[in-house]
Amino acid sequence: MPLPTNTWFTEPCEEGGSAFSLRTRRKLHQEQSPYQKIEVYETDSYGNLLVIDGFIMLSSRDNFLYHEMMSHPALFTHPNPRRILIIGGGDCGTLTEVLKHATVEQVTQVDIDERVTRVSEQFFPELCRSNADPRAHLLFEDGVRFVARQQSGCVDVVIVDSTDPIGPGEVLFSQDFYAQCRRLLGADGLLVQQSESPFYHLDSIIKPMYRRVRGAGFVDVLSLQFPQPVYASGWWTCTLACRDMTIGTFREQAVEERTFVTRYYNAAIHRAAMAMPEFMRQGLLAL
């Protein structure tokens, strides 16, 4: 039975000295998986809300912003994305966006916690509608160990759809992990990873990520910006890194001629997301 709440769910951001709150109607689900506490709330204005260990993962209302930007810019930057690896992404929203691309032949998604996917199938079925696609392969195991045992050059794009770089997720932001991802990538291969808020995390997360990605041998790195209301500051990034080419262009004509529907992403948004505010540009140029 749903548990009534009629209260507010609040996630504080200690480093930003701020918090984000949503008024909830009831708690729909709660469980402790072998890895984390998973909760789902019904909210007044954002639909269902997925919370893991007290941190907001997504809402029904605004998740399309994140999932579209985690997938389409990278796939339209790569000249011919066929083999995709997603590390994390257990809610399957990024997987669904990736599978909209006709060039994609296989997507392997590796998330350590199967319960996140099963809870998402129940409470966010719109995100999981492509789980049965024959091109999709869902594995539930440690992503770092999976990457370490794969053959070199076996994928075109690696998407790291991870939690924050704390606790178990910290290793996904390490130079060793980036080096393993680079090893997996073929020619023109791309890595994309969520990289938190430029307003709160430029010094603590984004700058170290640039150093480690470059230290792992990637030729170029660029952060793309987009709004994300339910995340700290409402201003988010994902960071692209290219194995052996600079990131300056993308297949704009292919974006214009795409046969699938997007709610946020288009060619103009892609171009705009590549522009960097001055404080961020100066901070990253100094590295």
Instruction: Report, as residue numbers or ranges, the catalytic residues.
Output: 161
Structure tokens at 40: 């789902």
